[in-house]
Amino acid sequence: QKEVEQNSGPLSVPEGAIASLNCTYSDRGSQSFFWYRQYSGKSPELIMFIYSNGDKEDGRFTAQLNKASQYVSLLIRDSQPSDSATYLCAVKGFNKFYFGSGTKLNVKP
């Protein structure tokens, strides 16, 4: 069983819409949860992290965590074409980061 699972997509949304990206994880002992954005051929860049149940907002991005369901999501409001990328969910356990396979997001003008 994979540590972190994501739908590979692609997820297509029109410009200005809300994009919803989901992730589940298997290790209940996981401490922190991260969303990274990766453009083709580039290294991942951190969008935000969350470690408490509930929502965390940063600009157009909102991360949601439900530890009971082992589920973390990322909402992108007012999606822009520049948001088109692969979004990686990462989970930190004991001093290790595990990544999901990523969800490819296409924002259509």
Partner 1 sequence: GAVVSQHPSWVICKSGTSVKIECRSLDFQATTMFWYRQFPKQSLMLMATSNEGSKATYEQGVEKDKFLINHASLTLSTLTVTSAHPEDSSFYICSALQGGNTEAFFGQGTRLTVV
Interface contacts to partner 1, rule CB under 8 A: 31-32, 34, 41-46, 49, 51, 88, 92, 95-102
CB of 68 to partner 1, least distance (A): 21
CB of 78 to partner 1, least distance (A): 24
Exposure pattern of 30-39 as b/e (b: 16+ CB <10 Å)? beebbbbbbe
| Identity of the residue, 10 or 14, whose beta carbon is nearer to partner 1 in the bound complex | 10
CB of 99 to partner 1, least distance (A): 5
How many CA atoms does the CB half-sphere of 54 hold within 13 Å?
A: 3
| Identity of the residue, 12 or 31, whose beta carbon is nearer to partner 1 in the bound complex | 31
CA separation (Å) from 91 to 11, 32, 66, 73, 107? 22, 6, 13, 12, 26
CB of 70 to partner 1, least distance (A): 18
Angle at the Cα of 75 (from 73 to 76), degrees rounded to 5? 145
